[in-house]
Amino acid sequence: MNLEDIEREIRSCKRCDLWKFKTNYVSGEGNPNARIVFVGEAPGREEDIQGRPFVGRAGRYLTEVLSRFGLDRRDVYITNVLKCRPPNNRDPTPEEIKACKPYLMKQLEIIKPDVIVCLGRFSSSTILSEFGIDFKGISRDRGKVFEVEKWGKRIHLIPTYHPAAVLRNRSLSDYFERDVKTALDILKRRRKTLLDFI
């Protein structure tokens, strides 16, 4: 199974009612061999229209932060916990998360990234709990690096604020950008370790 197979499954999904309200399914995009994956909450208005993740205001900010650190968004993989937009951007319900989560977990299993950056509380609580970690809230856990063994390798999970929250409260931007840098520093360190073996 590859990412296209999952996308095909998503495009006929009726596991919850959100498909009735959406314009497009938003499965995810980027490099299928990415070593880092960014996981948001759910598509917003612009994402629903375009069928692509993080292309609205919050997405432009995320893209800009990545490029400030020398990364093109096509280098990474970007997706969400929910693949359909909740009406009026309301919070995802626990039932919707439960129904949609298997798609995210399959995407992660195929990519097998070294680092997963969880954008916001819904993404952080969903992913951390999936890896057996108790999420204590975004302000307490953001910026922490959780190391887990999965898919036969070591994975780093980093919860941080959602880019939309940063746009609403600019005082969070230093934390957010520091957390993205932490994630990229881990990648650089891991690359060095790998090269040392060669």
For residue 24, the minimal CB distance to ligand URA (Å) is: 12
Beta strand 77-80 with 146-150 is unpaired
- What's 80-97 look like in SS3? ECCCCCCHHHCCCCHHHH
The residue type at 124: S
Count residues contacting ligand URA (CB under 6 A)? 13
Check binding of 164 to ligand URA (CB under 6 A): yes
Half-sphere exposure in the Cβ direction for 2 (13 Å, CA): 5
> Per-residue string for binding with ligand URA, 13-52, x by CB under 6 A?
---------------------------xxxxx--x-----
Check binding of 80 to ligand URA (CB under 6 A): yes
Which residue among 3, 27, 37, 53 contacts ligand URA (CB under 6 A)? 53
Pick 46 or 190: Cβ nearer ligand URA = 46
Pick 54 or 77: Cβ nearer ligand URA = 54
Cβ 36 vs Cβ 113: under 8 Å = yes
Pick 39 or 184: Cβ nearer ligand URA = 39
**Is residue 194 classed exposed, middle or buried when 0-12, 13-18 and 19+ CB atoms within 10 A define those classes?**
exposed
The residue with its CB nearest to ligand URA is: 40
